[in-house]
Structure 1
Amino acid sequence: MRVSILSLTAFAVAIEAQELYLTTTGYAARPQCTKQSTPKYHFQPFSYTLNETVRYATSVPSPTTTRTYAPAYTDIAKHLTTTWSTSTWGSWVPEQTVISATDTDDPYGQAAWSSMWLQADLEDYTTTGLFSTTVSSTPVPSSELVLPPRDYFGPTDCYNFPKDFVFGVAGSAAQIEGAVALEGRSPSLLEKLAPGNKPKDYVTNENYFLYKQDIQRLAAMGVEYYSFTIPWTRILPFALPGTPVNQQAIDHYDDLITAVLDAGMTPVVTMLHFDSPLMFRASENYTIRPDIGYINAGYQNETFVDAFVNYGKVLLAHYADRVPIWVTFNEPLLYAFNFKGVDHVVKAHAQVYHFYHEELKAKGRIGIKFNDNFGVPKDPKNASHVLAADRFQEMQLGFFANPIFLGKQYPKSVLKTLPGAKPLNDSELAYIKGTSDFFGIDPYTATVVSPADEGIEACASNKSTSNSLFPYCVNQETKNVYGWNIGYRSQSYVYITPTHFREYLFYLWNTFRHPILVSEFGFPVHAEASRDLSDQLFDSPRSVYYLSFMSEILKSIYEDGVHVMGALAWSFVDNWEFGDYSQQFGIQAVNRTTQERSYKKSFFDLVDFVKSRQPKKA
């Protein structure tokens, strides 16, 4: 099999590399040291000394020029097959809003917009946050930019990041913006599906009003790239082609992009991050699986492809001139795990890619990003475990990546397992092939894989959705063959697994042969939310996670020949993690009463690591 050979090679390389550093007792050998003389003890005068030099974060400089990557909106409009009227709507505040609109004959009027929120069933939602209008930014005091004490141990590499390495931070609208039903935004899948926590995303971090200050805080720390998402339901409240565009939303994200550029940073925009319009909910009979996500929740609606392509064109028409990096879908597997849903994502993505490069002739990059906790065989010497890991990668990644990156058919494991699966024809494969400029991946951690107890074939042929292992038909666990955890555990599913991460980059590069963008990675420190603020801010476990992963990226680039395009840390601030606020992935803390942000140690450590490893400018 194509994947098996590469995987076996990667595993062999990793095992061989580990053996180079093992003694016969199993403990790590020390480097050669010069012979030490016998110690001579003596007394000396004592005095307290300042052993820490005060250092400050270096802000990104203000831009001196403005780059463009595509024609302006006035020039792009001629490439569009339809035109859109622009409109504005009011707001829906639960328990306060009464539908008094009289424009019931208008299918896109205020009454029609308000009725969508009635259908969303938001009786438990909180009402409003602290802010109702955009807050101007203020300079970050220098007292907040003093670097924290260093950890005792740290990376010792001698490598620099390539000049064009993309380093920055990421966030998503649904998890930080709040203002869920304000200024024309309509309901998304998240308002209906988030289990037991529907009220939590109404306010979140109020980034919708505080974005200027959030951007200012990132720039002050020296962050160069800011990755954010734009909600489909804000731009097109009625979602479908031919429906009116929300002018307030267009203006809002235009101003946000301008604020990013004015701060000296570069924007990275994701079009869809789980928050697709509620009308695309495919069925009330969805199920939630911790290993997959939502099954039969969305994306398989027959109108989805045309609607998403239309939405993508709207975004590109307005913002492609100033945004150099685009992502169409974020982790689509989590909401599209059924054959039709994935098939729709693949075809919609390809159309947007062709529009961007062929019709707009844009000069930036556009791609797609996936979720996949790297599946490593529980016993790498057991062929059935290697095959199980290969199958796991195929179901998670090959399903999308085979046609998009290689122009190859959906994996046999998918076609033989998933109900309704059918192969792409030759013309479809030719159209889809090569429709991504980079391979986006969110490789938070690894998972240990072995075959289903009854065997993969028996599990797959049964096609029973009651089987908790179907359709992957592999066991996933977090302990290795010797019973040890695969790494230091976080608050959630993430373990610190840097060596597996490097192996994963090797696999992705040599399998799908495109530059890799580590589009999210992060670590929620265990029980962080229950600690005093000062203890939350001194988050050494998160620093260990980030610095070890970044060190492995450098080794991957220089020692393995892997083209890693960049890395975006998740998340730039603690947010709503689709369930609660206790899983704190942020490198800034948030006071939920005042919305005040505080930098964590890991933020300083991560930026300092990258800045100290950038090529010196001539």
Structure 2
Amino acid sequence: MRAELALQVAALLAGAHAQELYIPTTGYTARPQCTQPPSTPTYRFEAFSFTQNETVRHAIPVPSPTTTRTYGPGYSEASSLLGTSLSTTTWGSWVPENTFISATDTDDPYGQAAWSSLWVSASLANYTSLGLYTTTVSPAPVPSSSLVLPPRDYFGPTDCYEFPDDFLFGVAGSAAQIEGAIALEGRAPTLLEKLIRDDRPKNYITNENYYLYKQDLQRLAAMGVKYYSFSIPWSRILPFTVPGSPINEQGIAHYNDLIDYALSLGMVPVVTMIHFDTPLYFLRDSNTSAVPDIGYNNGGYWHPEFVDAFVHYGKILFTHFADRVPVWTTFNEPLLYAFNFTGIDNVVKAHAQLYHYYHDVLNGTGKIGFKLNDNFGVPKNSENKTEVDAANRFNEMQLGGFGNPLCLGEQYPQSLLDTLPGATPLSEEELALVGNTTDFFGIDPYTATVISIPGEGIESCAAQNLSANALYPYCVTQEQTNIYGWDIGYRSETYVYITPTYLRSYLSYLWNTWRKPVLIGEFGFPVHAESERDLPDQLFDSPRSQYYLSYLSETLKAIWEDGVHVAGAFAWSFADNWEFGDYAQQFGIQVVNRTTQERFYKKSFFDMVDFVGARKGLGHEH
């Protein structure tokens, strides 16, 4: 018997020279949920019949909240704390060839003539048409026929975790991308109107959410969404931007009504103060085509009047809305529009002043923070120290300029100080003022990027200016393939990949580096060429479902297995919107008909709310 076994082993060893068997170094995928031993199947015949697989959500009447929790003083008390008198007025609307304004107040620097001249001087391309609506549309109940659950994807998360009681789950949008009504009811021009492409005259309309907000909120509430994150345009509240200029009565009334209506539906408002839509006031005399030292666009944050004006604007928002809004974000992705080091420095100081005003003067009991952009930089070879250092440089340059001073009271990263022209350290007095002035670290973690050292090295690149080296100022090589040549995840557009495993590492990096609760302010996925498909195919957006469920599953692992305090997550966006140029890249969880403005729920919306609801995330109180 032993001799026979030896011959068999020898034959196997001989065959090994002709065939190789590849086995994962850690073994094949484990199935811990499979605890029963395998058995022999029993084959049989039985009567067959079709079964109904569709599931319908049935509307259940829910009484409106009878009380509203407050997070700060109401308007009368807050306005007295402001220490300055507030004047309000109205200006009307400006639509060429449709609206005719006879202004005789040419001597008033804030009068109707002055307001109209803001739009004339903005010289918008092809702004000639209005949308479908000119007044707020009353909401209609969502019919059960539009709430039929889509077929499930075959595979999905198998975790048994639950979201913490204080986890904020919601959806997000920004004013410039959804509201429309840009020159109506007193709103003044912003930078983003200048980004409209000349061949897209109706881009100014977007989703007409300014008039359809009640309908949109009703649709979100019907799906069980608890938190609604939106931005308030500076130029709609203070059309002339600067302290001492009048407040727009219509703008205040609009957002008062939006907030109150959200609360009446049992939803919680979350407000962002600026989402790229800088008033044109800060850019009227500057070269908007100049190449930035850092970031992608000139957002005017560097302007010498910006800090005082932004802080004043933030105080106006607090004065009117802080009693009902529990979560505030001062800046959305400020690095992208900072333009230079002064822009970063101004953002830090403006944010810190508003934090102190909210907590120290108003005694606000809610949360105030910021949210940043960063495609998480991971080293191409995590065992190569120089590539790890390169990844750390990339991330600290994108995040540390805000995180170091505002979270830790620490100096700007040395990489920023050594690389950006005119960069100067914060003084000890400034560090004391800005230190520990955020309640959360907001991040928009859409994807990841693989980092390695460029051929000429980091130091050589950092010593050059932008025109001399396209890698400046980060001075690292960014790729989307790992060390073995695989894409880091499923790719949609040229820049977004599904990277859930990197998200878990990212959350741990943020929590352990800056030691503040992490708020996922945006996360979302544009299915490739989705806008070119027929409506049923747009609605069945399985890649987006995979993105959301995998990201949320990894978030739960970060919370329960890694000890990371993740405060919440907001899906971007609650509907397909204007993506800074056109509608081709759709991030929404609802389709928007561009002719009728009708909305349609996508599969990913159902999948996401079911995932969170099953883990007790939809009904939480803040």
TM-score, with structure 2 as normaliser: 0.92
Match of 1:323 in 2: 325
Q: Which residue of 2 aligns with 1:251?
A: 253
| Cα pair 1:56 1:146 within 8 Å, conserved | no
User: Shift of the alpha carbon at 1:200?
Assistant: 4.9
Amino acid at match of 2:369: G
Which amino acid is 1:324 matched to?
A: P
Give 2:337's match in structure 1, choosing from 335, 346, 350. 335
Instruction: State the match for 1:14 in structure 2.
Output: none
- Superposition pairs for residues 415-434 of structure 1, below 5 Å? 415-434=417-436
Counterpart residue identity of residue 544, structure 1? Q
Say if 1:60 and 1:264, in contact at 8 Å, map to a contact too: no
Question: How far is 1:81 from its partner?
Answer: 3.0
Q: Is the 8 A contact 2:504 2:555 kept in 1?
A: yes
Larger CA deviation: 418-427 vs 480-489: 480-489
Structural mapping, 1:18-417, within 5 Å:
23-24=24-25, 27-31=28-32, 34-56=36-58, 62-97=64-99, 100-194=102-196, 199-281=201-283, 283-287=286-290, 292-294=295-297, 296-417=298-419
AA matched with 2:289 = Y
| Aligned positions, number | 595
State which of 436, 456, 465 in structure 2 corresponds to 1:463.
Answer: 465
Change (3 A) 1:453 1:199: farther
User: How far did 1:452 drift?
Assistant: 2.3
Instruction: Give the counterpart letter for 2:174 in structure 1.
Output: S
User: Compared with structure 1, are the counterparts of its residues 287 and 532 closer, same or farther at alpha carbon in structure 2 (3 Å cutoff)?
Assistant: farther
Whether contact under 8 Å (2:294, 2:336) holds in the other structure is: no
Calculate the aligned-residue CA RMSD, in Å.
2.1
Indicate the residue corresponding to 2:513 in structure 1: 511
CA deviation after TM superposition for structure 1 residue 523, in Å: 0.5
Query: In the TM superposition, what is the alpha-carbon distance from 1:142 to its structure 2 partner?
Result: 1.4
CA distance in 2, matches of 1:121, 1:354: 39
Q: CA deviation at 1:127?
A: 1.3
1:368·1:436 contact (CA, 8 Å) conserved in 2?
Answer: yes
Provide the residue aligned with 1:10 in structure 2.
Answer: none
Match for residue 15 of structure 1? none
Q: Deviations over 1:574-607 (max 9, x none)?
A: 0001121011100010000000000011101111
1:585 match: secondary structure = coil
What is the letter of the counterpart of residue 25 of structure 2? T
Q: Secondary structure at the match of 1:520?
A: strand
User: What residue is the counterpart of 2:541 in the other structure?
Assistant: 539
Offset, 1:196: 5.0
Is the Cα–Cα contact under 8 Å of residues 197 and 580 in structure 1 kept in the other structure? Answer: no
Contact 2:235 2:279 in 1 (8 A): yes
For the residues of structure 1 that align with 2:515 and 2:58, how far apart are their CA atoms? 40
Contact 2:293 2:466 in 1 (8 A): no
Instruction: Please give the alpha-carbon distance, in whole angstroms, between the structure 2 residues aligned to 1:467 and 1:297.
Output: 23
Aligned-partner Cα distance in 1 for 2:75–2:210: 24
Rounded to whole Å, the distance in 1 between the matches of 2:39 and 2:610 is: 37
TM-score, structure 1 as length reference: 0.93
Q: 2:200, 2:82 → 1: CA distance?
A: 37
Offset from partner CA, 1:223-257 (integer Å, 9 cap, x none): 00000110000000000000000001010100000
Judging changes above 3 Å, is the alpha-carbon distance between structure 1 residues 544 and 273 closer, same or farther for their aligned structure 2 residues?
Answer: same
Rounded to whole Å, the distance in 2 between the matches of 1:278 and 1:503 is 39
CA–CA separation in structure 2 for the residues paired with 1:59 and 1:23: 53
Q: CA deviation at 1:371?
A: 0.7
Select 1:548's aligned residue among 540, 547, 550.
550
What 5-or-longer segments of structure 1 have no aligned partner?
1-21
**Cα deviation digits, residues 520-572 of structure 1 (max 9, x gap):** 00011111101111111111111000000000111000000000000010000
Runs of 4+ in 1 over 6 A off after TM superposition: 57-60, 288-291
Q: Could you say if the C-alpha distance between residues 198 and 332 of structure 1 is closer, same or farther in structure 2, counting changes exceeding 3 Å?
A: farther
Relative to structure 1, is the Cα distance of residues 199 and 328 closer, same or farther in structure 2, using a 3 angstrom cutoff?
A: farther
Q: Distance in 2 between matches of 1:290 and 1:446?
A: 23
Amino acid at match of 2:376: F
**Structure 2 letter corresponding to 1:24:** T
Q: Distance in 2 between matches of 1:292 and 1:333?
A: 5
Shift of 1:39: 4.2
Match of 1:588 in 2: 590
Identity of aligned residues (%): 67
For the residues of structure 2 that align with 1:219 and 1:340, how far apart are their CA atoms? 42
Q: Is the 8 A contact 1:196 1:579 kept in 2?
A: no
> Structure 1 198/425 Cα, relative in aligned 2: closer, same or farther at 3 Å?
farther
* Alignment deviations for residues 478-530 of structure 1 (CA, whole Å, 9 cap, x no partner): 11111111101123521100000000000000000001110100011111101
2:19 corresponds in structure 1 to: none
The alpha carbon displacement at 1:477 in A equals 1.4
**Looking at CA atoms only, which structure, 1 or 2, has the larger radius of gyration?**
2
Match of 2:462, SS?
helix
Residue in 1 that maps onto 2:449 = 447
Consecutive unaligned residues in structure 2, runs of 5 or more: 1-22
Task: State the 1:50 CA deviation.
Answer: 2.8
